[in-house]
Amino acid sequence: VVRINAIEVPEGLGATLEERFAARLHAVDQAPGFRGFEMLRPTGEAEKRYFIVTHWATAEDFDNWVNSADFAKGHGHAD
């Protein structure tokens, strides 16, 4: 199962996004069913989107990760 998130990043903030992902890159590694992660950078001046590609054993594994406390903490949604 592959999940792709497109993130539009304002000009000049790409490095900030990359640093944030690098800081929490391995947070998902131990999630059940997690198989891999890729960050695809914009390909040119006009393109402002990053694509975050994750690979999962099942859709349920992905859903469980998105609804987990670890996901919320890593995405700034923790209480």
- List pLDDT tens digits, range 8-48: 999 889 999 999 888 877 789 899 999 999 999 998 888 99
Where are the chain's structural domains?
2-74
| CB of 50 closer than 8 Å to CB of 41 | yes
Q: What is the pTM of this model?
A: 0.82
Predicted local confidence at residue 68, as pLDDT: 93
Q: Which numeric CATH code is attached to 2-74?
A: 3.30.70.100
